[in-house]
Amino acid sequence: MTRAPVTAFIGLGANLGDAVARVQQAVQALAEWPGTCACVASRLYRSAPVDAAGPDFINAVVRLDTTLTAPALLQALQAIEAAAGRQRPYRNAPRTLDLDLLRYGDARIDSPQLVVPHPRWRQRAFVLRPLSEVAPRLVTAAMLQAVADQSCVPLDEAPEQEP
């Protein structure tokens, strides 16, 4: 029996190594993942770390339609992170790649492994700005105004610097 596709939103971020390439490779991996029916990515953004130290992040959001369950999608995201060399030495450590399941349809999940919708998606400019490109109905002007003090600019508009 084939599952009906569910629209999910994935937040992508990296701030170690070639962050731009890692995020682009992750977008490609998501588009090619078994069970993914459609994949639309935002532009890349440069953002300052929030509640963390280290270099600026490169961020994006992907909207995808998937037949994977939320736990299976989380496993797929973690496999892509592991292939990119992701390590978790401490909370909010700099990372080669971070993939967050922001939303999974209208599901509400609260388990030790997964919380959906992501608990801080509305508090982060690096989520809201790219999310507004791929899902404008999910992001209001008030939400964007609430995070206006957080540095997050499209990469093509950001000053040149190493991520």
| Residues involved in catalysis | 86, 95, 98, 100
CA 136 to CA 30: how far, in whole Å?
Answer: 21
Q: Which helix (H) or strand (E) holds 45?
A: strand 45-47
Q: What's the token pair of residue 73?
A: 């999608």
* Cα dist from 16 to 76, 97, 101, 123, 162, whole Å: 21, 8, 21, 23, 10
